[in-house]
Structure 1
């Protein structure tokens, strides 16, 4: 399976989706960051090939050979990415799914709709365009009314309310520690015990151990929620 996470809107969670949602559930997938300015999965320690949108020729050749790939298209590169995509006959069909993460702000939802329209304009079939609702507080339908309204009136994409990542401090902690949920779950250390044994005057060590214990406590329920979101995206 080959997935592209993309959106005209920045800071909507494309890298969170690539790093924490897709990469652990697509073993062996190559991660390619089409990015020039912002964070990518490489910042979390994952093996990532970096390129710019105008380098689509190189990307296209890699997609022809790849069985599994995650393409993280940064907002600053999506214009060039789409412009290059249409230069190659039916190149858009080399990508199985275009996943558009979106957060609840009005601007992000408007730019997500713009992204959906741009994909439709180059011929991407509606069933390949999937919205991922990110940083959900409580009610997906209420927080993303503009997206569901557009889906009802215009279509051109799939919006499953179960394809949602709920707001959680774990993602900021992971970014600060430059790690992933997969690595946290594989870490055998008992940070609760280490915290109890720590020198109370070593504030730096206490802060680190507290963060790691919080990550371990948060990781497993978040992992289960991400499992549900991953399954829902492709229903």
Structure 2
């Protein structure tokens, strides 16, 4: 029975959320929110990428007991006015975001997690243990979750994010692309002006005819022939 409950909880996590690496694939990047409140979660979708702002969190030895006590307080039957903010943020977001040490690494790089506990593997283990037997309440952050899912399932946005990641992840790559595009454009303009500046066939014929007539006049003048003579016709 316990195993079934645990499996059910894990399936529930997978149904509504993704790990950090899963979110990175369609161009969803993390950023620490300016407000440290657990309610300060925002999601902004842009053209080629999206931004998920999360409240920064300090990870140290006493973190797990503190959060477990806070979660226990929120879930206490006597606490009828709770909104499950700590439970929802820790379980709905952080535990779901962290599957592997590389997920912790991405969170550290984004300055969402500040690790004073040890290696990334230890942090991943702590969060997985915290959420092992807890069922998340997704209603608190339902709007943000829906926005993430819509962006994640948009194939066009996913494709554009992969193109940007694969080919324009470095600023120098973008500079090289723009330089090549400008060179190609200048070559096209130069080719167009070259073709446009060439004389038409009629103009060539007139020039050749006038040159031929002038040559005949010069020869006739040298031979003393009257320009009105039938020799010039």
TM-score, L = length of structure 2: 0.27
Q: Which structure has the highest strand share of the two?
A: 1
Q: Which structure has the highest helix share of the two?
A: 2
Which of 1 and 2 has greater Rg? 2
TM-score, L = length of structure 1: 0.27
